[in-house]
C-alpha cells in the first residue's frame, strides 16, 4: 500500500466525498429538497462518513483509526437505508437509487479493506503515517 500522508489521500475518503457530493445534488431537487428531516439526515450521514475517516486518521494510532473507520462504515449503511426511504417516498428514481447505492457500497468496501489492512499492520507494528 502506498504511503498515506494526508486523509485526502485515502481512497475511501475520496469515494465518501463523491457520495456526499452526489447526495447533495439529489437532495437539492424537487420534493426531496422540501423534506427537511430526511434531506438533512441523509446529508449528515454522508458527511459523517468523510468526517470519521478524517478524524480517525488524525488520531495517530491504528486501533483508534480502525474504530473511526467502523463508525464511518456504519454511516454508509445509514445512507443506504435512507436511500430506500427516499425511493419509497418517490424522491429518487430507481436509476438514481442504484447509482447512489452503488457509490455507498463501494465506499463501504474500501473502508472495510482499510480496516483489514490496519488490523494486519497492527500485528506487524506498522503505522499508517
CATH of the domain at 94: 1.20.1440.60
The confidence band for 60, taking pLDDT boundaries of 50, 70 and 90, is: confident
> What value does the mean pLDDT take over residues 80-93?
98
**Does a structural domain hold residue 3?**
no
Structure-block grid coordinates of residue 58: 488524525
In a domain, 80, yes or no: yes
DSSP state of 29: S
Q: Following CA atoms 75, 77, 82, 85 in sequence, which dihedral angle do they give, to the nearest 10 degrees?
A: -160
- As for how many domains the chain has, the answer is 1
Residue 86 included in any domain? yes
What is residue 103's predicted lDDT score, i.e. its pLDDT?
Answer: 98
| 112 located within any domain | yes
Report yes or no on 97 lying in a domain.
Answer: yes
The predicted model scores a pTM of: 0.91
Enclosing domain of residue 65? 10-124
Does residue 4 sit within a domain? no
* Contact predicate 62/127, CB 8 Å: yes
Amino acid at each position: 500500500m502506498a504511503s498515506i500522508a494526508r486523509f485526502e489521500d485515502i481512497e475511501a475518503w475520496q469515494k465518501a466525498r463523491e457520495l456526499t457530493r452526489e447526495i447533495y445534488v439529489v437532495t437539492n431537487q424537487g420534493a426531496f429538497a422540501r423534506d427537511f428531516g430526511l434531506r438533512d439526515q441523509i446529508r449528515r450521514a454522508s458527511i459523517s462518513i468523510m468526517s470519521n475517516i478524517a478524524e480517525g486518521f488524525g488520531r495517530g494510532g491504528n486501533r483508534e483509526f480502525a474504530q473511526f473507520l467502523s463508525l464511518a462504515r456504519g454511516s454508509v449503511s445509514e445512507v443506504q437505508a435512507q436511500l430506500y426511504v427516499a425511493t419509497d417516498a418517490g424522491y429518487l428514481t430507481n436509476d438514481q437509487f442504484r447509482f447512489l447505492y452503488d457509490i455507498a457500497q463501494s465506499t463501504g468496501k474500501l473502508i472495510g479493506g482499510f480496516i483489514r489492512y490496519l488490523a494486519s499492520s497492527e500485528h506487524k507494528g506498522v503505522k499508517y503515517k
